[in-house]
A = this chain, B = another copy of it.
């Protein structure tokens, strides 16, 4: 339920109503605005109605939240949320680019790929330390050592880093080494993991599951925010369909719709979304045009040698070239690129 207070309502009025909400066992939300203060009440609809909040003299309007997700909904927070990874903003007027290799394969290799990414225009680094692999016999990631490599290179280059978390037991360790957690597509409905990252303050990139609906994706984000962490960035990375010519089907409809339904920033992963190096560029441009707040792209200093996903990783010069070409679309979209901070 959304409760719009009258312009003359004081903080004291708000507290009175918030207390009433809380004492009924519901979740109170306080959202002061420049003109009006808005309150929220989440929980059993029947209890909510029983509170008879409309009757309070300082309440101007009471509206139900129609969607199943509440905290991530634009119904509750109409304005764009801006989430920062390190000092890099995602959302609002900003368009930000994350680059790096699929997996962290060692210090020299990661440094080379990361330098290529940052030189090309990336403002944050990606790299996998714990890798979810379909087969138990595939490379499972470098673990703690890989995290240390990421931290060192991230410091050297002065850009924040993000890596995937697969287990609640690893969250603390990862938070000590990098700036943001990624929930992978396979874990989008690993609800205990969602709740656990929701208990941190670390930004979370939440990837849509390969067969998750838009609603299920927003409800997964709701788990994190409801647990206390509002710093969620949604990521469209392709869904599984009948089409096999591409690794996944990048669903840009979903980006446009999630931007309308939710105030959270939405980024796009054209590397996994296509699985084909030559398609990464066109789809990254389309991501800008459709209204995404950023892209996350795989770039590797030597894709032929990559331990995973080499086929979809850009060469350093391809990445740099793409970043240049993206600029025109970012401007056409009326966005401000977080690209090339120094420039």
Interface residues of A (CB under 8 A from B): 42-43, 68-70, 132-137, 166-169, 186-187, 189-192, 209-211, 213-216, 219, 222-223, 226-227, 238-246, 249-257, 259-260, 273-274, 276, 278-279, 282-283, 285-291, 328-329, 331-333
Contact = CB atoms under 8 A, between A and B. Distances in A.
A330 to B, nearest CB: 9
A226 B136 contact: yes
Most chain B CB inside 10 Å of its own CB: which residue of A133, A226, A256: A256
A132 B276 CA distance: 31
B250 A279 contact: no
13 contacts: A42-B137, A70-B137, A136-B227, A166-B192, A167-B168, A168-B169, A211-B211, A239-B243, A249-B249, A257-B279, A289-B289, A329-B332, A329-B333
Contacts of A167: 168, 192
A285 to B, nearest CB: 4
Given A214-B243, A253-B273, A289 B291 contact: no
Given A168-B168, A256-B283, A282-B291, 15 more contacts: A68-B137, A70-B137, A132-B189, A134-B219, A135-B222, A168-B169, A210-B211, A238-B253, A252-B283, A253-B283, A256-B274, A256-B278, A285-B290, A286-B290, A328-B332
Contacts of A133: 191
Nearest to A198: B136
Contacts of A290: 282-283, 285-286, 289
Contacts of A328: 331-332
Nearest to A288: B289
Contacts of A291: 282
A332 B326 CA distance: 9
A331 B250 CA distance: 24
Contact of A246 (B190, B253, B274, B282): B253
Contact of A242 (B211, B227, B257): B211
A244 B246 contact: no
A134 B220 CA distance: 7
Given A250-B252, A253-B279, A332-B331, A191 B132 contact: yes
Most chain B CB inside 10 Å of its own CB: which residue of A216, A257, A260, A285: A285
B244 A213 contact: yes
B192 A211 contact: no
B273 A282 contact: no
Nearest to A140: B191
